[in-house]
Copies of this chain bind each other. A is one copy, B any other.
Amino acid sequence: MRLLSPVDFLFTTLETRTQPMHVGGLFLFELPENADKNFLSILTEQMLTAKIPPSFPFNQVLDHLIRWQTDEDFEVYQHFRHIALPQPARIRELLHYVSLEHSRLLNKSNPMWECHIIEGIEAVSKGRPARFALYFKIHHSLVDGIAAMRLVKKSLSESATETMNLPVWSLITRHRSRLDAMFPKDKSWRHIAKEQLATIQPVARELSKSITEYNNPNFINTLQAPRCILNQRITASRRLSTQSYELARFKNLATAFAVSTNDIVLAVCAGALRNYLLANDALPKKPLIAFVPISLRTDESASGNQVSFLLANLATHLSNPVERIKTISASMSNGKQRFGSMNQAQVINYSAIAYSWAGLNLLTSFYPKIQAFNLIISNVPGADKPLYWNGAKLQALYPASILLNGQAMNITLATYVDKIEFGITACDDVLPHSQSLLKLIAEELTHLEQAIDLA
């Protein structure tokens, strides 16, 4: 039994019916070639009948909102679902299912996570095997989204022939040695959580400073985030839109424009957002400001990470894409100087960012007339090598994020082997057709490539 840390408490109390505080990961697999036709029923049967109880933190249940207890009555029935999509099912139908699931609150009386296996997704191309997906949903008070994605990833194998016998939620016993490296050895969870909370303060201090300097004419306008349809009160509706793009295209653009790959990611998002807002007759005159968490990972351990964030000027007021790249890149360099890294905090992986973000949200509500940023664009750790689940190749992994009142869209991306995987989470009731951003991102990539040729 552990008391809730202040951070856990924050995430459970911030939660409302329209603002669920869970994160999700969507993992898309291709069935092995010549797979047994019962491949998935064997896999799910294994998960449903496993005698090994869920590992920490998958066995932790809230007790009166003040402490965590180990759930002694774990009932897999309430956590696991295996469904198929009606034929022919495209990614579109998969995302419809996942979006509706992502909209819904987790059951607080059980350990707050759900695992969905979704089969029957059409092959990536003719002649290839069919695909299936794993959608994993977990409350932010149990583990942060990136750590959750990493936990699931750790349960996969780099070998196409290895088989696993444990459910995802019992995986820690499988890879204990690798997982141990993710958590600091000499600290209690409570101690870690305390440290995480402490990182809110520097962020808040920085922002406060920036806000008080708001009227200083020399101050760069990253805190003058305009009012925008992205910053509405949200409802419970979520729409997840996902797509994979060739990493090489981003890298080529970075080389051609002599900026970082991350600058190109932001520029592509900026161009797409500009066109999305134009199409909705809602482009602010001032440029959008993005909150961009930056990780400076040094080793596999989570505690050794250096974490910082930047507020990036997305230059959405400029119609010329090359001008936009320049402004974004300059803003990023600028921001790096101003905000610096927050490496004094020992954090679990990227958690500090999430907590800073919640802190920011609270902070900005103290200054309702000043908006710090319009949306979060976050790059989370992916994997360099192909991963497998009992021989089924992981094709793509997409993050699904949390939205907050005033933050109706979140763009999160991950690199996986040779792809950049985008997951756009939006409130479907207030931001119609957010899935159109995927096409606009593809178009923006092409525009930028054409701009190289012209340059």
Contact = CB atoms under 8 A, between A and B. Distances in A.
A75 to B, nearest CB: 7
A103 B75 CA distance: 15
Contacts of A87: 84
Interface in A60-116: 73, 75, 77-78, 81-87, 93, 96-97, 100, 103-105, 107-110
Question: For chain A, which range describes its interface: under 10, 10 to 19, 20 to 34, or 35 or more residues?
Answer: 35 or more
A97 B77 contact: no
Nearest to A103: B107
Name the residue among A17, A77, A109, A235 with the largest chain B CB count within 10 angstroms: A109
A84 B105 CA distance: 23
A81 B97 contact: yes
A429 B110 contact: yes
Interface in A209-238: 235-237
A139 to B, nearest CB: 13
Contact of A108 (B17, B41, B82, B107): B17
**Number of this chain's copies in the complex:** 2
A20 to B, nearest CB: 10
A237 B81 contact: no
A126 to B, nearest CB: 20
A73 B85 CA distance: 27
Given A75-B428, A77-B96, A77-B428, A235 B109 contact: yes
A215 to B, nearest CB: 37
A11 to B, nearest CB: 15
Contact of A85 (B84, B96, B105): B84
Contact of A86 (B40, B78, B93): B40
Contact of A100 (B81, B97, B239, B432): B81
A18 interface: yes
Contact of A237 (B18, B100, B103, B110): B110
A4 to B, nearest CB: 18
Nearest to A239: B77
A261 B41 CA distance: 43
Contacts of A30: none
Contacts of A429: 73, 75, 78, 109-110
Given A86-B84, A105-B104, A78 B110 contact: no
A77 B238 CA distance: 11
A321 interface: no
27 contacts: A17-B105, A17-B108, A40-B86, A73-B432, A77-B96, A77-B428, A78-B237, A78-B428, A78-B429, A81-B96, A81-B97, A81-B100, A82-B86, A83-B85, A84-B120, A86-B119, A86-B120, A103-B107, A104-B104, A107-B235, A107-B236, A107-B237, A108-B236, A109-B235, A109-B236, A109-B237, A109-B429
